[in-house]
Amino acid sequence: MPSLTDARSAQLYARAVTLLPGGVNSPVRAMRAIGRDPIFVDHGAGAELVDVDGNRYVDWVCSWGPLIHGHAHPEIVAAVQQAAARGTSFGAPTAGEIELAAEIADRLPSVEMSRMTSSGTEASMSALRLARAVTGRDMILKFSGAYHGHVDGLLAEAGSGLATQGIPASPGVPAAATAATVIVPWNDPDALRAATARHELAAIVAEPYPANMGLVPPDAGFLGLLREQADANGALLVFDEVISGFRVARGGAQERSGVTPDLTIMGKVVGGGVPAAAYGGPKALMERIAPAGDVYQAGTLSGNPLAVAAGLATLRLLDAGAYERLAATTTRLAEGLRAAAGDLPVQVATVPGLLTVFFRAEPVHDYADAAAADRDAYAAWCRALLAHGVYAPPSQFEAWFPSLAHDDAAIERTLAAASAAFASLS
């Protein structure tokens, strides 16, 4: 098997661990889930990532979603450069923010108005504050295995049994913060109905195409049931489209499924690789946000001109043809990976623009199924992919992010590496 040279990465990591907790600024980058040390990046170009040791990889992580056009797309780079030359931040409104909000509203009819933040975590936190203000209720229902950023109240795990109250998933999260969170297994209509019967909810919050336990698409009718149960309960339906937005379709999961949420959380693609996120909904709800209304929420760098320029350039390149190409790339990759896996107990879950290779014989339907996957096999396969020049998500519980920069050559390189990596397992 070809092996990675990683002397420079190893040197940087040795220094990084003395200055950054675990050597990184976000945990998954440390690659602990696949049992190796992190790879330090030098640069990216298109579908390719080049590390500090000069190893070249086909990159299927693409910064975990924002880079739907691949690395350093010339038009996006030019937009950011032009914006930076005019000043990096003003703390005062700029015309680009209006254009970005209009672009979002054009794609998502449910989002008449939006408010920008600097991260998806902030956008989730703020959307839930608004839902609580609008309904005058505290309880939030979320799904097991869904991730909505590291907001205290949403960093909760389910206890045992159906429709349980959340327990903190991390030290430092107060029990009081998760006491108002109800957790239900994904794709479980009975558990959902039991929870809505028992609690007066401010919101049902869901990733409509959950991709943070690996990709686990909704069963037919499940998103419609969320809408129906939210209405019957008097709760708002909040779609966290930080991953699915502007990716699974031009108008995200809400367009693809035909189910319309009350509030939408956006991030990743909307910032084009620069820190930005947003939340939005109908004017009547959004005008509760300060200074139009009484619900406080603010941000020094919110609507930052670099992020707005990157986001606008990214969205404007996403025409109908782009979504057809992205879907075709995803299908070719998924079919190729299934063929490469042969008789191995592997499931490839996919929707346009997203994919997960689960090391499990049965289809994955909820978080319990995902958690039952063979993580050691995934780790070994992923390490072998790296050694063959393919950078796949270094965790069983993450999605692959196909981009418009992944051409036939990138897919072929990936499938050859995948076959070799599968072969190395047996």
CB of residue 366 to ligand PLP, shortest distance in Å = 16
Which tokens is 233 given? 């309960």
Q: CB nearer to ligand PLP: give 251 or 267.
A: 267
Q: CB nearer to ligand PLP: give 55 or 118.
A: 118
Single out the catalytic residue among 13, 57, 147, 323: 147
Burial 132-165 (b: 16+ CB within 10 A, else e): bbbbebebbbbbbbbbbbbbbbbbbbbeeebbbb
Phi, psi (rounded to 5 degrees) for 49:
-115, 135
Q: CB nearer to ligand PLP: give 76 or 243.
A: 243
Single out the catalytic residue among 188, 240, 366, 369: 240
CB of residue 241 to ligand PLP, shortest distance in Å = 8
Q: CB nearer to ligand PLP: give 208 or 389.
A: 208
Phi, psi (rounded to 5 degrees) for 85:
-65, -20
Please check whether residue 248 is in contact with residue 401, taking contact to mean a CB–CB distance below 8 angstroms: no
How far is CA 211 from each of CA 49, 62, 414, rounded to the nearest angstrom? 22, 14, 21
Single out the catalytic residue among 142, 188, 268, 378: 268
Which residue number has the CB closest to ligand PLP? 120
Rounded Cα gap, residues 119 and 288, in angstroms: 21
Name the nearest CA neighbour of 79 among 242, 268, 274. Answer: 274
CB of residue 409 to ligand PLP, shortest distance in Å = 29
Helix, strand, or coil (residue 199): coil
Sheet of 277-281, strand order: 113-117, 277-281, 263-266, 236-240, 201-206, 139-143, 181-184, 164-168, 156-158
Helix, strand, or coil (residue 363): coil
CB of residue 3 to ligand PLP, shortest distance in Å = 32
CB of residue 282 to ligand PLP, shortest distance in Å = 21
Q: CB nearer to ligand PLP: give 381 or 401.
A: 401
Per DSSP, the residues of 223-279 read HHHHHHHHHHHTPEEEEE-TTTTTTTSTTHHHHHH-PPPSEEEE-GGGGTTSS-EEE
Q: 102 - beta bridge partners?
A: none
- Among this protein's residues, is 51 annotated catalytic? no
46: left (phi over 0), alpha (psi -120 to 50) or beta: left
Which tokens is 119 given? 């991260």
Q: CB nearer to ligand PLP: give 55 or 126.
A: 126
- Among this protein's residues, is 147 annotated catalytic? yes
- Look up residue 29 and give its DSSP letter: G
First to last CA, the chain: 14
CB of residue 74 to ligand PLP, shortest distance in Å = 25
CB of residue 254 to ligand PLP, shortest distance in Å = 14
Q: CB nearer to ligand PLP: give 158 or 266.
A: 266
Q: Which residues bind ligand PLP (CB under 6 A)?
A: 119-121, 124, 147-149, 207, 212, 240, 242-243, 267, 277
Q: Name the residues annotated as catalytic.
A: 147, 240, 268
